[in-house]
A and B are shown apart, each in its own frame.
Chain A
């Protein structure tokens, strides 16, 4: 059989080449898809790093008795003190327009900052301490190198004079970058340098709590009924089809449902974690039911049979024996469902969570926003600093998701060792 090699050889090369090509297409597809993910993550992370650094400037403030009455700390005009400090630092600034620009070096809340610092350390009173103040967002951009000083003045947000003043501060060592802790403790703000995610986070946490409290019990009990008790037949098939379809309905439709029924018909308060949680729970319910059913199916029939064999009723067998074993799997499903609910923006937009909320909600009945909605709002804003804030908020969101998914995976791994 010496023609083993040559019988079909002219075509063989082509056939093998086509084989190699197919493999390379596959590899290319994977690289492109994952590459996109990596680029997206890297770009956002890079933007976020800008938001996590805040620029502060140091100014000598006059806290003598003329300005601050030690008996009446709250009565002082701290804003004026800060402005005076700036004027003292740059005595050459005379024109009113220039002075306004000068005051704009620091954040508009600088007065409040001073008040806070004085209240925290009254020993400073009477002297002229050098204190740090948050710079405005434009100065922050300048400090982090995002402003092209060489470009035409009319094309940038920071004028030549402001650059000169800031450079002078820098040279004197009165400018520094610090980690932006405010980002995590502040609520939303019109000023980018003051904007934080705390209120959005609280809103998300409360909404998810409501979502969990509603969807987990109902979902688990429904799954138990459908899996253990429901008679097999057309009705239970119909319910299963219904649940599968619900799982694939676009999330915005749930938002419409919430708007029409929860807000309009029931008259529940708009934009609250209560309504947000209710809408999210409708979305999460199918996921939890499906996951719980799968988990129940994973319990070996021998356990049910053993319980029934001792004389337990079906209810007792299910609740005392089967359900506890399936519980870890159900929790895993719940965590995955929660993770999806955390990132879902559309339904929350429908029920009104797009307002500008500064204070964190203290109950589920107060207006709130949620983390993904906050990202959406900041992304919409034209200011560049808000884009960085949005990126940082995305990173926080992704961290939460990673943690939740890891928790689900760990839970699943531990559970798997049981059988």
Chain B
């Protein structure tokens, strides 16, 4: 250890141990820190593992399913009545595994939900962003978030036991034939559940439109409403579109509301007053009975699950892409 030049003049005296300026870190600490880093990296990889796990498990079971039921029947078949082979040596199954009625059912209910949620969500967002006082905003915005916080089983309960009978009663009062588990009931309630998704994101997006654009429009003598309709909303369209896509994705993946209020009738129809079933409802039905795990019936649930996963993933990726691109426009 070299003597440092200032030691001779050090006021601290001879009791002070000398420390060189630059030392290598001690071996023990480095080992410990390496261990910590390994743990950290491992934890970060868990999320990736989960995704891989989802894809792998769904894919694996789906492939086993397609060994029993042809892909074309699944994707293009118009009849869904899943039956299991009665004997294990039966080549296929005696039932039909055409997913089209499920897809149309899902789309019908989601469409109803979006028809309900989009105007409500957008109008609320515009009002909150452009017209509401700070106090109103502080109360209403969290209140709308409450809608998102209510568990879907509660919505399903309300839909099945209050809304559906009400619609049925009103319908038959007017002379229409309404199923006891109409797509309308499920779609309506689902729409309300989605409103905060649209309103919250759209509100953020509308607020992000620069004030300079508003000033320019108002300076030209436009009313506030004209500014909103002709300048702000067009500027915010990409973000709003993103929020709508996320909402659709949520609607498609929703389970409890449709299980409780929409039932299991695999009808191929566009009539909202009839009962339809969705992909998610069928997955639940197929897997909550006593089933042998290898049967075509059980495996079809995984095929449906994979279909669902791919669709929602595609929608989410698209939505996030649009929102990101839009944000770059203004940065």
Chains A and B directly touch (beta carbon < 8 Å): yes
B149 proximal to A (CB < 8 A) = yes
With both chains docked as a complex, state the minimum distance between the C-beta of A210 and any C-beta of chain B, in angstroms.
Answer: 16
**What string of 1s and 0s marks CB contacts (under 8 Å) between B102-134 and chain A?**
000000000000000001111110111001100
- Assuming the contacts A19-B224, A29-B119, asked whether A253 and B54 have C-beta atoms less than 8 A apart, the reply is yes
User: Is B176 interfacial (CB-CB < 8 Å)?
Assistant: no
Whether A359 sits at the interface, judged by CB under 8 Å, is no
Give the residue of A44, A224, A352, A380 whose beta carbon is less than 8 angstroms from that of B40.
Answer: A224
Interface residues of A (CB under 8 A from B): 15-16, 18-19, 21-23, 25-30, 32-34, 36-37, 40, 43-44, 217-219, 221-222, 224-226, 229-230, 239, 241-246, 248-254, 256-257, 259-261, 264, 282, 285-286, 289, 313, 315, 319, 339, 342-346, 349-350, 352, 354, 372, 375-376, 379-380, 387, 390-391, 394, 397-398, 401, 405
CB neighbours (8 Å) of B162 from chain A are: 40, 43
* CB-based contact A261/B157 at 8 Å: no
Contact present for A33 and B124 (CB under 8 Å): yes
B280 touches A346 (CB 8 A): yes
* B88 at interface, CB cutoff 8 A: no
Contact B46 A398 (CB under 8 A): no
**Residue contact A252 to B47, C-beta cutoff 8 Å:** no
Q: Hey, which chain B residues are within 8 Å of A379, CB to CB? A: 153, 156-157, 160-161, 260
Contacts of B276 in A (CB 8 A): none
In the bound complex, do residue A250 and residue B308 qualify as a contact, i.e. CB atoms below 8 Å apart?
A: yes
The one of B47, B152, B195, B284 in contact with A239, judged by C-beta atoms closer than 8 angstroms, is B47
Is B305 in contact with A256, judged by CB distance below 8 angstroms? yes
| A256 pairs with B36, CB closer than 8 A | no
The residues of B that contact A15 with a CB separation of less than 8 Å are 223, 225-226
Query: Within the complex, what minimum Cβ distance (angstroms) separates A249 from chain B?
Result: 6
28 A–B contact pairs at CB < 8 A? A15-B223, A15-B225, A16-B223, A26-B127, A33-B192, A36-B192, A40-B158, A40-B162, A43-B158, A229-B37, A244-B316, A245-B316, A245-B317, A245-B320, A248-B312, A249-B312, A250-B254, A251-B255, A257-B50, A259-B287, A313-B33, A343-B154, A345-B152, A372-B153, A375-B154, A376-B259, A394-B157, A397-B151
Bound-state CA distance A224–B128 (Å) is: 36
B169 smallest CB distance to A (angstroms):
15
A285 to chain B, nearest CB (A): 6
- Least distance between B125 CB and chain A CB atoms (Å): 8
B195 contacts which of A28, A33, A339 (Cβ < 8 Å)?
A33
B123 and A401 contact, CB distance less than 8 A: no
Contact of B255 among A34, A252, A343, A387 (CB under 8 A): A252
